[in-house]
């Protein structure tokens, strides 16, 4: 029985083999030589193959770990960018609404004949569009900034500048002949507005307008005497 079991065990590797009959022995020899030639072309067995495989497998696992870590970090960065974009929009809208309120209030101080407001080009995504200034004239006629006269543009632009100044004040302002297109009445209103804001900041205004000059605390004049510029100061 033991011999039978040993024979069966030895035969185990051949049990799925196919027995070919009526084959020419010479053909078998040729086939054997062909297979031996193929085996010889393969070359010697690399005894370090397992070691090389293990090293490559280790490097592969390290690369996979790095990739997974980078993907995780990428997702964190994307979430952070989305959070920043959301906060940026909220901060912008808060700033925009405050400046718009200041703008409407200041514009009403400069003129009693019209109303003005800021308008976003893209309400849903304000950071992807621009901003317009709309002026409502008597009779419900609404104009944009390009349709206003020179004096109206000046008043509107000054109202916007002062609105920004109220939101985030600076300590120093320089206005260069901003009253050039204003009539006497509007110049007087501008002078009163500058006088109000000069309590919190220093204003230097270059002007030839008497209404503006008389509202100043200190006046500096430049004249030419014998080809030489001379500065004259006067404290009002």
Same domain? For 127 and 159 the reply is yes
Is the pLDDT at 132 greater than 80? The verdict is yes
pLDDT tens digits for 138-193? 776 788 778 888 888 888 888 898 898 888 888 888 988 888 888 888 888 888 88
Question: 159 with 174, same domain?
Answer: no
For range 1-27, the mean pLDDT: 72
- The CATH number assigned to the domain holding 80 equals 3.40.50.300
Both ends of the chain: CA-CA distance in Å?
132
CB proximity list for 150: less than 8 A, separation 6 or greater: 181
146 with 183, same domain: the answer is no
- Whether residue 227 sits in one domain with residue 128: no
What's the token pair of residue 111? 């003129």
Q: Kindly report whether the global pTM for this prediction surpasses the value 0.75.
A: no
Q: Is the pLDDT of residue 16 over 90?
A: no
Q: Tell whether 73 and 113 lie within a shared domain.
A: yes
For residue 98, is pLDDT > 90?
A: yes
pLDDT per residue over 25-62, tens digit each? 777 777 888 888 877 777 777 777 788 888 899 999 99
Evaluate whether residue 47 is within a structural domain.
no
Cα 37–46–28 angle (5° rounding)? 20
State whether 163 and 175 are in the same domain. Answer: no
Asked if 136 and 178 sit in the same domain, the reply is no
- 119 and 187 co-located in one domain: no
Radius of gyration from C-alpha coordinates of the chain: 45
Identify whether residues 162 and 97 lie together within a single domain. Answer: yes
Q: Which residues of 96-127 are buried (b: 16+ CB within 10 A; e: fewer)?
A: eeebbebbeebbeebbeebebebebeeeeebe
Helix (H) and strand (E) counts for the chain? 6, 7
The domain tally of the chain equals 2
- Summarize the confidence of residues 58-86 as an average pLDDT: 90
Kindly state whether residues 202 and 213 are assigned to the same domain.
yes
Bridge pairing between strands 218-225 and 228-235: antiparallel
The alpha carbon dihedral of 155, 158, 160, 162 has a sign of negative
Tell which of 141, 168, 195 closes a domain. 168
pLDDT, greater one: 138 or 94: 94
The answer to whether residue 35 is domain-embedded is no
Domain hosting 183: range is: 170-236
With bands split at pLDDT 50, 70 and 90, how would you rate the model's confidence at 1? low
Q: What is the pLDDT of residues 195-227, one digit of tens each?
A: 888 888 888 899 888 888 888 888 888 888 878
DSSP state of 183: -
Residue 126: inside a domain, yes or no?
A: yes
User: Are 148 and 197 members of one domain?
Assistant: no
The residue ranking higher by pLDDT, 19 or 219, is 219
In terms of phi and psi (left: phi > 0; alpha: psi -120 to 50; beta: otherwise), the region of 104 is alpha
**CB of 193 within 8 A of CB of 162?**
yes
Residues 82 and 153 in one domain: yes
């Amino acid at each position: 029985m033991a011999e039978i079991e040993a024979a069966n065990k030895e035969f185990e590797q051949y049990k799925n083999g196919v027995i070919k009959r009526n084959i020419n022995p010479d053909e078998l020899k040729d086939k054997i030589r062909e297979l031996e030639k193929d085996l010889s072309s393969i070359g010697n067995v690399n005894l370090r193959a397992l070691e090389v495989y293990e090293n490559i497998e280790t490097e592969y696992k390290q690369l996979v770990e790095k990739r997974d870590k980078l993907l995780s970090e990428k997702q964190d960065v994307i979430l952070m960018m989305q959070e920043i974009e959301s906060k940026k929009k909220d901060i912008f809208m808060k700033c925009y609404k405050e400046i718009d309120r200041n703008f409407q209030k200041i514009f009403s101080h400069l003129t009693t004949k019209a109303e003005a407001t800021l308008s976003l080009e893209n309400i849903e995504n304000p950071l992807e569009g621009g901003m317009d200034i709309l002026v409502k004239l008597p009779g419900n006629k609404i104009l944009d900034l390009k349709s206003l006269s020179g004096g109206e543009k000046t008043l509107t632009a000054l109202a916007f500048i002062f609105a920004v100044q109220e939101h985030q004040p600076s300590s120093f302002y320089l206005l260069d002949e901003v009253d050039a297109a204003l009539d006497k009445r509007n110049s007087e209103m501008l002078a009163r507005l500058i006088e109000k804001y000069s309590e919190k900041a220093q204003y230097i205004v270059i002007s030839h307008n008497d209404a503006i000059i008389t509202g100043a605390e200190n006046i500096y004049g430049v004249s030419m005497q014998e080809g030489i510029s001379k500065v004259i100061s006067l404290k009002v």
